[in-house]
Amino acid sequence: MNVSSHPEQVVFLFPGVGDHYAGMGKGLYDTEPVFRSTVDHCAAVLEPELGQDIRTVLYPAGAVSAPGKGKLDLAALMRGARGQAEIDRTRIAQPLVFTVEYALAQLLISWGITPSGMLGYSLGEYVAACLSGVFSLDDALRLVARRAELIETMPPGGMLVVMLGPDEVAARLDDELSLAAVTSELLSVVAGPVPALERLETTLTAAGVGTLRSNTRQAFHSWMMAPAGDRLATLLGDFELGAPRIPFLSNVTGTWITPEQARDPRYWARQLHQTVRCHDSLGEMWRLPGAVALEVGAGSMLGSLAAQHPARPAGGRPPVHATIPGAGRAGEDVAAVRATAETLGAALAVHSGRA
């Protein structure tokens, strides 16, 4: 595929963990050499860190790549129950999501779709930082794997999505709970110990406020991650951090990261346990002249938030694009990614013999 130059400013959006699934990007892995070679390289670097080949979890037997099947083969799912549980463990999920998002970004760049800016949600900020040159790829992979290991050593907790703005939520929090993320004007995420979350959930339900419990065993972006953040800052002393070459938005500040922040180990410690300022970051993105949002990863969570953001220009312009479909449309990744590339100004040229 060859992509013509595009006058608009494409902003890559990298989601965090949550919408990943076994088989995501399988069609791209089977048909696109750039994607496949990048995944293979990441798997080789990660294997000594994880003690296993991440591809056996990402693409187990039965993971579909043909369109129309939509889900994993049921028999294979039953045979591989251990692998399916494993994909949701932090120590596996985070390196796996990083790998797929980075490989997809490299594929898009090879087609001529290059980012003018980037926004990553939680773990996604590491993909943005790596593409920007803050971390080398191999260092980023090792760092993401070791960061995930640190997270798993923290006490168990949970997260609760709350249908309220951050100020209203903050007024209802006690010392055991943290405002983990602000995703929109009327949508926030709270994290902390499960008993404290249950008390808050009961109070909010009685008040008629909608809530949704997140399927996680950790209290990400909360005070419970602070000890891991301290250890992460120490760990980062062994890595070389560079100044960003491509601008990206900071989870911590909600605006463009500075070179000083990007190279400061303490910044990445705060990024682990402070509030994700997603709503503010999306607002900054829409202030870019000619911004076009492109979600680079599975699902459309960030794209949906971008599309609904009040700072987005009226009239449905500029557009918001997705790439790898969610789990319900597994097997449609090749068609979906190519269609997005075409929409972004691509001139599609499928060579004979390519799927």
* Residue-wise pLDDT tens digits, 238-296: 999 999 999 999 999 999 999 999 999 999 999 999 999 999 999 999 999 989 999 99
Walk me through the domains of the chain, giving residue ranges and CATH numbers: 2-154+222-347 (3.40.366.10), 158-213 (3.30.70.250)
Residue 4 has pLDDT above 90, yes or no: no
Predicted confidence at residue 347, as pLDDT, reads 28
> What percentage of the chain has pLDDT greater than the value 70?
88
Over the stretch 40-88, which tens digit does the pLDDT of each residue have?
Answer: 999 999 999 999 999 999 999 855 554 444 333 333 323 333 344 788 8
The arithmetic mean of pLDDT across residues 204-220, rounded, is 94
Tell me which DSSP letter residue 256 carries.
B
Q: Which tokens in the block code for residue 184?
A: 């929109």
CA angle centred on 321, ends 317 and 322, rounded to 5° = 160
As a whole number, the mean pLDDT across the chain is 88
More confident residue, 280 or 331: 280
Rounded Cα distance between 345 and 61, Å, is 36
Percent of the chain with pLDDT over 90: 80
pLDDT at residue 328, as a whole number:
78
In this predicted model, what pLDDT tens digit does every residue of 163-190 receive, in sequence order?
Answer: 999 999 999 999 999 999 999 999 999 9
pTM over the 0.85 mark: yes
HSE-CB for 251 with a 13 A CA cutoff: 27
| Sign of the alpha-carbon dihedral angle for 251, 256, 262, 265 | negative
The residues near 124 (Cβ < 8 Å, ≥ 6 apart) are 13, 14, 15, 16, 97, 101, 297, 302
